[in-house]
Amino acid sequence: MKAELLYEGKAKKVYCVHEDVNSLVLSYKHDATAFNGEKRDVFEGKGRYNNLISAAIFTYLSEQGVASHFKHVLNDTEQLVERTTIIPLEVVVRNIAAGSITRRLGIEEKTAFPSPLVEFYYKDDQLGDPLINDAHALLLTDVTSEEIEQIKQLSLLVNQKLQPFFAEVGLQLIDFKLEFGRNYSNAIVLSDEISPDTCRLWDIKTGAKMDKDVFREGLGDLVEVYEAILNRLEAVK
Ligand code: UDP
């Protein structure tokens, strides 16, 4: 089913599909990178966990009425998705302070925000994905102001749906990153992945970090942590 390689990123390869111009195959790699690619390693098995965790999340969101590009899992490390052209924005939603916002604004880690924050980053490796505002997004991408509002509302809705989803398996959703694309009819569609590579998840009982920070901060065995998340999600299915 896979045709030519369309794009290779840090964590995934994207393939065209024979005789189906409106689908793509996302192939999850076992690589982990952090700090804009400065820290990297390969974790055998990681691709499978991100593929299956992302599939479980998109399936749940779809049951909750939140559509995405996800169609179905093909095998351990690959999934079929609707073809979209990614808008070069990383949309970050934050419930609790962690990561870059603690350094940029001097907010102490673990500080809860009175309401979730939505931030835009411009997806450009050479620039180091800088934080931008709405006016910059209008200038740098093809989104309209109405679409910016739509993207913000959709991101907050995803947050509203994912908080109880993770709480049920004993995880607190600290923050996460979403990407949106345009499909064949120019509509905006939730795309890319949602996985422990793109979310911060803290164990509700112990406070342990159960996401890519385990790799960023050298806290333990990344694959064991991702396996534990998939096991918890499968146990409540
Ligand atoms: N994130 C991501 N890709 C990026 C940057 C951030 O998936 O290129 C996710 C990250 O895993 C976290 C959230 O977005 O869940 C907020 O990240 P932050 O801005 O704190 O950056 P970090 O400190 O992780 O570099």
Predicted confidence (pLDDT) per residue in 53-72, tens digit: 999 999 999 999 999 999 99
How close is the Cα of 198 to the center of ligand 1, in Å?
A: 6
CA of 141 to the centre of ligand 1 (A): 20
How do residues 158-184 score in pLDDT, each as one tens digit?
999 999 999 999 999 999 999 999 999
Distance between Cα 29 and ligand 1 center (Å): 18
- Ligand 1 center to residue 18 CA distance, Å? 34
Closest ligand 1 atom to 123 CA: 8
Residue 193, ligand 1, Cβ within 6 A: no
pLDDT tens digits for range 10-37 = 999 999 999 999 999 999 999 999 998 8
Q: Which atom of ligand 1 is nearest to the CA of 198?
A: 7
Q: What pLDDT digit, counting tens, does each position of 99-155 carry?
A: 999 999 999 999 999 999 999 999 999 999 999 999 999 999 999 999 999 999 999
- Nearest ligand 1 atom to alpha carbon 103: 23
Task: Write out pLDDT tens, residues 203-236.
Answer: 999 999 999 999 999 999 999 999 999 999 999 9
- Helix/strand/coil (H/E/C) assignment for every residue in the chain: CEEEEEEECCCEEEEEECCCCCEEEEEECCEEEECCCCEEEECCCHHHHHHHHHHHHHHHHHHCCCCECEEEEEECCEEEEECCEECCEEEEEEEECCCHHHHHHCCCCCCEEEEEEEEEEECCHHHCCCEECHHHHHHHCCCCHHHHHHHHHHHHHHHHHHHHHHHCCCEEEEEEEEEEEECCCCCEEEECCCCCCCEEEEECCCCCECCCHHHHCCCCCHHHHHHHHHHHHHHCC
